[in-house]
Amino acid sequence: MDARLRRGRASLAVSFFVQGAVFALLVTRIPALQDRYGISNALLPVFLAAVPILAGVGSVTTEHVVKRVRPTIVLRCVQPVVCLALLASGSGSQLWECAAGLALFGITVGALDASMNMLGVSLQRAYGRSIMLGFHAAYSLGGIVGASLAWVGAHWHLSLAALYAPSVVVLIPVAVVAGKWFVDQQPQAAEALHEEERAAAALSFRPLLPLCFVMAFAYIGDSTVSNWSAKYLQDILHSSEQLSTVPYNVYMVTTLLGRAVGDLGVRRFGPAPVVRFGSVLAACGFAVVAAATGPWMGMLGFTVLGFGLCVIVPQTFAAAGRLFPQASDTAIARLNVFNYVGFLVGSPLVGGLGDAWSYRGAMLVPMVLVLATLLYARSFGGKTDRYGVGHERARAVDVG
C-alpha cells in the first residue's frame, strides 16, 4: 500500500483524536461554564441547543464549500479555529462572549465533523476495506483524554481558561502538523471535477433517508447515555454520587474497545451484519438498564450499550460513501446534519418522558429506535468492506 495513504490514515486519526479531546473538554465542563457566566437554568438549554443547530448549518455550508475547496483544506482551516473557539468560550467574562465562543464552536465543529468523515470515507475507498471504525476509535480515545483533563481541572479547581489554554497550546500544533499529511482523492482533471459536481447536483435525498434515520436514532441513544446515565443511576437505582459518574466513563471505554476491533468484524462479515448485531446489542443494553434492580446491573446495561452503539455511526458514514461514490462528500455533509438532530431530540425526549411517565419507561424509547435500525440494514450494502488488500495482516486490529 502507498506510504502516502498510510501517512494520510495516521494523520486523519490524529485529527479525530484532537476533535474528541476538544469536544469532551467542552461538554464535561458545561456546569463550570454556567457558573462562570451566571447562565440561568432556564437559559442554559437555549445555549446548549444553539451549538448543534449551528453545527448543522456548518455541515450544510461545508457541502457547498467542498465543491470548490477540497475537504483537506477545510479540515486544515477549521480544526485550529475549533480549538480557539473552545478557549474563547471559557476565557470571557460577559454573557455575550460565551455566546460568541459557543456560536463559533458550533459553526466550525459542523464543518470539522463533515470534512473529517469525508476524508475517512475517501481513504476507505482507496484502501478497499473498512477503516472508518478505527478513525472513530481515535475520536473515542480523544474523548477519554479530554474528559480526564476536565476531571483534573475540576479536582484542582482550575478556571476554564487555565484548563483550556494549555490544552489548546498543545492540540493546535498537533492538528497543524497532522494536517500536512492529509490525503484526499482529488479529481485529477476538469472533466472529473465536473462529473463530481453533476453527481452532487443530481443526488436524491430519498435513498439517503434511511441512513439519516439510522444516524438520528444512534445519536438519540448516545445522548441518552451522556445526559441521563448519571441521573438514572443516582435517582432511580439509588447509587452514590461518586458511582453515578462511572457509567459514562465506562460507556466511553467500551465504545473505544468496540471501535478498535469493529473494522475486523466488518471485513469478516460485511457492514450490514455488524450493524444488525450492534443494534440488537444496544437494544439489549437499554433493556437491561430499564429493568435494572440496582446500580451495578444498570452499569452492566450501559456497558453493553457502548459495545452496541459504537459501530453504527461510522458504518452509516461509510454506507453513504458506497451509495453515492460520485457524490460522497455531498451525501456525508447532509447525513452529518442528522448527527445533530439526534443530539437535539434525544435529551429532551428522554427527560420529558421521564418527568411525565417514568425514567425506566423512557429508556425503552431509544431501545425501540435503535432496534428500528434493523429495518434499514439493507442500506448498508453487502460485503464490499471485507479485507481486500495485502499490506496488513487480515487479523490485525486497527485503531487508525
**At how many degrees (to 10) do helices 271-291 and 246-269 cross?**
150
Inside any domain, residue 393: no
pLDDT at residue 198, as a whole number: 56
Inside any domain, residue 259: yes
Q: How many domains, in total, are found in the chain?
A: 2
Inside any domain, residue 191: no
Q: Is-contact 148 25, C-beta < 8 A?
A: no
Domain boundary among 155, 186, 217: 186
Query: Are 141 and 213 found together in one domain?
Result: no
Query: Are 239 and 337 found together in one domain?
Result: yes
Total length of the chain: 400
Inside any domain, residue 112: yes
Query: Are 214 and 112 found together in one domain?
Result: no
Q: Which residues contact 189 (CB under 8 A, 6 or more apart)?
A: none
How far is residue 313's CA from residue 133's CA, in Å, rounded to a whole number?
A: 9
Cell matching residue 26: 467542552
Query: Are 245 and 363 found together in one domain?
Result: yes
Inside any domain, residue 113: yes
Query: Are 46 and 111 found together in one domain?
Result: yes
Cell matching residue 284: 439489549
Domain boundary among 153, 186, 219: 186
Inside any domain, residue 311: yes
Query: Are 317 and 260 found together in one domain?
Result: yes
Query: Are 161 and 44 found together in one domain?
Result: yes
What 3-state class would DSSP assign to 95?
A: helix
How far is residue 269's CA from residue 286's CA, in Å, rounded to a whole number?
A: 25
Query: Are 171 and 212 found together in one domain?
Result: no
Inside any domain, residue 396: no
Domain boundary among 186, 220, 254: 186
Q: How many CA atoms lie within 13 A of 106 on its CB side?
A: 19
Q: What is the dihedral of CA 28, 34, 37, 38, to 10 degrees?
A: -170
Quote the domain boundaries for residue 250. Answer: 205-387
Query: Are 167 and 262 found together in one domain?
Result: no
Amino acid (1-letter code) at residue 224: T
Query: Are 146 and 290 found together in one domain?
Result: no
What are the residue ranges of helices labelled H in the chain?
3-27, 30-37, 44-65, 71-89, 95-127, 132-155, 160-179, 190-202, 205-231, 241-244, 246-269, 271-291, 295-309, 312-323, 328-356, 359-371
Phi, psi of 92 (to 5 degrees): -85, 180
What are the residue ranges of helices labelled H in 236-327?
241-244, 246-269, 271-291, 295-309, 312-323
Query: Are 167 and 312 found together in one domain?
Result: no
pLDDT under 50 in the chain at which residues?
Answer: 188-191, 193, 385-400
Q: Which residues contact 393 (CB under 8 A, 6 or more apart)?
A: none
pTM: 0.89
Q: Among candidates 261, 272, 256, which has minimal Cα distance to 375?
A: 272
Query: Are 324 and 362 found together in one domain?
Result: yes
How far is residue 278's CA from residue 321's CA, in Å, rounded to a whole number?
A: 20
* CATH code, domain with 142: 1.20.1250.20
pLDDT at residue 397, as a whole number: 39
Beta-carbon count within 10 A of 343 CB: 23
Distances 303 to 22, 197, 230, 397 between C-alpha atoms, Å: 24, 43, 13, 21
Q: Among candidates 243, 29, 36, which has minimal Cα distance to 149?
A: 29
Q: Among candidates 228, 354, 251, which has minimal Cα distance to 309?
A: 251
Phi, psi of 398 (to 5 degrees): -105, 140
Inside any domain, residue 198: no
